[in-house]
Amino acid sequence: DAKTTQPNSMESNEEEPVHLPCNHSTISGTDYIHWYRQLPSQGPEYVIHGLTSNVNNRMASLAIAEDRKSSTLILHRATLRDAAVYYCIPLAIFGTGTRLKVLA
């Protein structure tokens, strides 16, 4: 089973970029890497996903290492509304995520 490792918490200043790392060294070759975030009192919501190449959407960018053993979620300009728990998951295996605190 794939297992992920993320820092428990991170802090960022508002309007600055944030790089959220994730290690998934046991991921299989065909598993997509999904990122979700969970705002307070809500269910998790999809942020971005990718397989091998880097991906961009309106919410974030995803940088995937060439060996696929790690990835980084990039929020280009953090806002207070980005304060949430961020989960990196292959398939349905959620860990405890990274709690992002954004400082005004």
Partner 1 sequence: DVKVTQSSRYLVKRTGEKVFLECVQDMDHENMFWYRQDPGLGLRLIYFSYDVKMKEKGDIPEGYSVSREKKERFSLILESASTNQTSMYLCASSSPYRLADTDTQYFGPGTRLTVL
Interface contacts to partner 1, rule CB under 8 A: 32, 34, 36, 42-46, 49, 87, 91-97
Q: Which is nearer to partner 1, 13 or 28 (CB)?
A: 28
Token pair in block for residue 35: 């990122």
Q: Which lies closer to partner 1 via its Cβ, residue 82 or residue 97? A: 97
Least distance to partner 1, CB of residue 92, Å: 6
Nearest to 69 by CA among 1, 5, 20: 5
- CB of residue 32 to partner 1, shortest distance in Å: 6
CA distances from 70 to 41, 51, 73, 101 (A): 29, 11, 10, 22
Q: How far is the CB of 99 from partner 1 (least distance, A)?
A: 11
Please identify, using beta-carbon distances, which residue of 16 and 32 lies nearer to partner 1: 32
Q: Which is nearer to partner 1, 36 or 64 (CB)?
A: 36
CA-CA distance, 9 to 73, in Å (whole number)? Answer: 14
Cβ–Cβ under 8 Å, residues 38 and 97: yes
CB of 58 to partner 1, least distance (A): 14
Report CA-CA distances (Å) from 27 to 14, 41, 83, 93. 33, 30, 27, 11
